[in-house]
């Protein structure tokens, strides 16, 4: 049964169509009782092939554990073609100026600000679908880059029990004048003292738009709250841009989140 499978899903929350890509570890068997951790990677069309090969290499080298990887993507052929959908799904607020700029540049119809609807899609449609069909454990992770990481952080602040591991690469914290940092402030004022999660956050040293100080602000606030059960690790990768940093972030992130204690 091990291999990669693709399913189509239409969401009643966003009205959008999704491709759900499932990669099973070679040791997966349908007729035993073993359950596996599951990692959801956003922008699955682009990043899942890289992640699955990297993860299996780490398993072979005993630097990670076997897991099920779920790529959440769209019925498109490129990252650029997915821009209207990922902008809709991964951004927490509507930014008309950004939509207008990208619509003109890419000749695509952009409408940002539907992260709350996509969180419903993920929690009430995609995750239940996967958990009905495959033998997953309660160990659930999310990984994303750029807008995908912005959504990952949004999920942490709005539905913190949905995942217990977060791989957040180059979080687009400058979005809408740093609105997610305001979400974090609200979350920290109302959150319980316990938060059992492992978080890995990173950025490339050559990224602009105040990405580094904003990342440090976010992680410092989380640490200062002194959550019981929270492990948070941050990295700045030297000489890496917003694009080139992706393989490095996935590399370090997987090993940090699944490091054998």
Range of the domain at 49: 4-257
C-beta of residue 153 within 8 angstroms of C-beta of residue 90:
no
Compute the mean pLDDT over every residue in the chain, rounded to the nearest whole number: 92
Report pLDDT for 251.
Answer: 93
Give CA 128 to chain center in angstroms.
17
Report pLDDT for 228.
Answer: 94
DSSP state of 126: I
| Mean pLDDT along residues 149-169 | 97
The answer for residues whose C-beta is within 8 angstroms of residue 2's C-beta and 6 or more apart is 24, 25, 26, 27, 28
The percent of residues above 70 in pLDDT, for the chain, comes to 98
For residue 175, the domain's CATH number is 3.40.50.1820
pLDDT surpassing 70 at residue 1: no
Q: How confident is the model at residue 261 (pLDDT cuts 50, 70, 90)?
A: low
Q: 108-156: per-residue pLDDT in tens?
A: 777 888 999 999 999 999 999 999 999 999 999 999 999 999 999 999 9
Among 119, 124, 120, residue whose Cα is nearest residue 150: 119
Lowest pLDDT segment from 72-81, 173-182, 209-218, 220-229? 72-81
Phi and psi at residue 23, to the nearest 5°: -115, 120
Q: 84-120: per-residue pLDDT in tens?
A: 899 999 999 998 888 888 777 777 777 888 999 999 9
Among 143, 189, 115, residue whose Cα is nearest residue 47: 143
Report pLDDT for 100.
Answer: 84
Query: What is the number of structural domains in the chain?
Result: 1
| Mean pLDDT along residues 232-241 | 96
pLDDT surpassing 90 at residue 252: yes
DSSP state of 134: S
C-beta of residue 54 within 8 angstroms of C-beta of residue 251:
yes
Report pLDDT for 107.
Answer: 74
Write down the pTM of the prediction: 0.94
């Amino acid at each position: 049964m091990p291999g990669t499978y693709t399913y189509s899903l239409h969401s009643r929350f966003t009205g959008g169509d999704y491709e759900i890509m499932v990669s099973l570890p070679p040791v997966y068997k349908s007729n035993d009782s073993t359950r596996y951790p599951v990692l959801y990677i956003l922008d699955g069309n682009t990043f899942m092939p890289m992640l699955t090969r990297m993860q299996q290499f780490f398993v072979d080298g005993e630097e990670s554990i076997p897991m099920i990887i779920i790529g959440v993507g769209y019925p498109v052929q490129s990252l650029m073609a997915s821009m209207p959908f990922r902008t809709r799904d991964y951004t927490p607020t509507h930014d008309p100026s950004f939509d207008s700029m990208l619509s003109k540049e890419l000749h695509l119809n952009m409408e940002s600000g539907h992260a709350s609807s996509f969180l419903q899609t993920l929690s009430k449609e995609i995750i239940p679908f996967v958990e009905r069909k495959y033998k997953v454990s309660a160990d659930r992770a999310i990984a994303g880059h750029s807008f995908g990481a912005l959504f990952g952080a949004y999920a942490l602040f709005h539905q913190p029990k949905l995942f217990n591991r977060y791989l957040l690469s180059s979080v687009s914290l400058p979005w809408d004048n740093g609105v997610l940092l305001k979400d974090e402030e609200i979350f920290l004022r109302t959150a319980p003292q316990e938060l059992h999660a492992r978080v890995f956050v990173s950025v490339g040293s050559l990224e602009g738009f105040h990405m580094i100080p904003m990342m440090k602000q976010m992680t410092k606030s989380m640490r200062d709250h002194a959550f019981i059960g929270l492990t948070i690790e941050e990295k700045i990768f030297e000489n890496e841009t917003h694009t080139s940093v992706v393989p490095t972030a996935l590399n370090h992130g997987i090993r940090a989140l699944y490091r054998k204690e």
